[in-house]
């Protein structure tokens, strides 16, 4: 019988980061992580499929992001709906209390190519979730895809800045600033007039 363990995913993630810092990512096993967290190995595998996954949460971003995009006012422009999603992440996920965890997590990921690969795949999946959320708002397919790609780029930039050890800004402000920068850049990439056939 599985016992209910309060906040097991975060306890496991905290334990994993502690151990990675102490003895290195390669030298830490799933059993080590579970023991440090005071949990059973089977509890680990109820939440994460492998050791890499413990640093990536259980789809923690897509849920709040998609819900907030869906709840944005119907008249909001595409990137404004994305901004509402970022506000939700600032409120529910990337809170000031979580920043120290994020700084340590990033140091581990930056040091391991297989973790970077997992992060890249999570990014692709999150972009797909955002694309569906934008399409559900009634946007044409291609507008939904472009919005999601630009939003995902802004999110990566903001997350990177937020997890810089010297940063003190809160995530919501960083995310809106990054979105503004990406939007401004998107207006400067256009090719010469008539060079591309228009649909």
User: Which residues 6+ apart lie within 8 Å of 74 measured at CB?
Assistant: 137
Rounded Cα–Cα distance for residues 155 and 171 (Å):
10
Span 135-194, contacts to a second copy by CB under 8 A = 140, 142-143, 145-147, 149-150, 153, 157, 176-177, 179-192
Rounded Cα–Cα distance for residues 100 and 86 (Å):
19
Least distance from C-beta 91 to a second copy, angstroms? Answer: 18
Residue 1 or 74 with smaller CB distance to a second copy? 74
Least distance from C-beta 24 to a second copy, angstroms? Answer: 24
Residue 36 or 176 with smaller CB distance to a second copy? 176
Span 115-144, contacts to a second copy by CB under 8 A = 117, 120-121, 123-124, 140, 142-143
Position 197 contacts a second copy (CB under 8 A): yes
Position 73 contacts a second copy (CB under 8 A): no
The encoded tokens of residue 97 equal 């209390």
* Residue from the set 6, 138, 166, 199 that interacts with a second copy by CB under 8 A: 199
Concatenate the DSSP letters of all residues of 47-104 into one string. H-SSTGGGGS-SSTTHHHHHHHHHHS-TT--HHHHHHHHHHHHHHHTS-GGGHHHHHH
DSSP 3-state percent helix, strand, coil across the chain (nearest 5): 70, 0, 30
Q: Which residues bind a second copy (CB under 8 A)?
A: 76-80, 83, 117, 120-121, 123-124, 140, 142-143, 145-147, 149-150, 153, 157, 176-177, 179-192, 195-199
């Amino acid at each position: 019988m599985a016992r209910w363990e309060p906040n097991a995913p975060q306890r496991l993630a905290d334990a994993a980061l502690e151990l990675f810092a102490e003895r290195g990512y390669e030298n830490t096993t799933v059993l080590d992580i579970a023991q440090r967290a005071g949990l059973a190995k089977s509890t680990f595998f109820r939440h994460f499929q492998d050791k890499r996954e413990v640093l990536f949460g259980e789809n923690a971003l897509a849920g709040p992001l998609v819900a907030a995009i869906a709840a944005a006012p119907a008249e909001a422009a595409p990137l404004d709906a994305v901004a509402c999603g970022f506000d939700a992440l600032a409120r529910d996920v990337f809170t000031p209390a979580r920043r120290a965890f994020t700084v340590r997590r990033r140091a581990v990921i930056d040091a391991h190519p297989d973790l970077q690969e997992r992060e890249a795949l999570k990014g692709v999946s999150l972009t797909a979730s955002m694309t569906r959320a934008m399409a559900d708002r009634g946007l044409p397919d291609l507008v939904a895809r472009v919005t999601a790609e630009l939003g995902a780029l802004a999110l990566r930039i903001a997350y990177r800045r937020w997890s810089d050890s010297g940063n003190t800004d809160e995530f919501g402000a960083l995310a809106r600033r990054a979105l503004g920068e990406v939007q401004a850049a998107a207006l400067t990439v256009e090719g010469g007039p008539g060079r591309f056939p228009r649909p």
